[in-house]
Amino acid sequence: MPTTAYLLLGALLFALGAAGVVMRANALSMLVSVELMLNAVNLTFVAAAKRFGELDGVIVAFFVIAVAAAEVAVGLAIVIDVARRHVSVDVDRASDLSG
């Protein structure tokens, strides 16, 4: 399979994730979308590592996975707090910082 196919798939996944983040109002859906974006990037890194025959991309992908785990932990904590305050996980209700 050519590298271009991986890259196209990565871009598609990233765009889907970004659209999900912007369009879904459910905080949990947004977290899932963020995961999708992170893994789209991971796919791109790994594809690049395979293409150039080096391990750098793979190493970065491992880092991203590790950071994503931490991100999910913090993100879920925030979601739980939002749910307690607003009796909902709808992020549009959490607009206390409106100017």
Partner 1 sequence: MTLWLTVLLPLAGAALLALAGGRLGRRAHGVIGTGAIALSFGAVLSMTTAGTGPGVRATLGPWLPLAGADLTLALDRTGLPLALMVTGVSALIALYSIGYLARDAGTQRYFAALDLFVAAMLLIVLGANLAILFAGWELVGLCSYLLIAHWRERPAAAAAAVKAFVVNRVGDAAFLIGLLAILADRHTLAIGSLGPLSIAISALLLTGAVAKSAQLPLHLWLPDAMEGPTPVSALIHAATMVTAGVVLLLRLGSSLAPEVLAVAAALGALTALGAALVALAQTDLKRVLAWSTISQIGLMFVGAGLGAVFAALFHLVAHAFFKATLFLGAGSVMHATGDEQDLRRLGGLAARLRWTTPAFAAGALGLAALPPASGFFSKEAIAAAALDRPWLLAAVLLTGALSALYAARLFTLVFLAPAGSAASAGAHESPPSMLVPLGALALAALGFGALVASGTVALGVPEPARPPPELALGGGLVAVAGAALGWRRSRSGARELLPPALGRAALGGFGLDALLAGGGARSVAAVASALERGAEATLQWSLDAAGRLVTRAGARVQRAESGLLRSYEAYLLAGAALLLALWSLGGTGSR
How many of the chain's residues bind partner 1 (CB under 8 A)? 13
Q: Running DSSP on this structure, what letter comes out for residue 26?
A: B
Q: How far is the CB of 1 from partner 1 (least distance, A)?
A: 25
The tokens for 85 are 């305050």
- What residues contact residue 76 under an 8 Å CB cut-off, 6+ apart? 31
Best CA proximity match to 45, nearest among 95, 6, 5:
6
State which residue, 4 or 55, has the beta carbon closest to partner 1: 4
State which residue, 25 or 66, has the beta carbon closest to partner 1: 25
- What residues contact residue 90 under an 8 Å CB cut-off, 6+ apart? 25, 26, 27
State which residue, 41 or 58, has the beta carbon closest to partner 1: 41
28 scored as a contact of partner 1 (CB under 8 A): no
Q: How far is the CB of 12 from partner 1 (least distance, A)?
A: 16
Query: Considering only residues 64-93, where is the footprint of partner 1 by CB under 8 A?
Result: 91-92
What is the SS3 assignment for 44-61? HHHHHHHHHCCCHHHHHH
Residues forming contacts to partner 1 in the complex (CB under 8 A) are 18, 21-23, 25, 91-92, 94-99
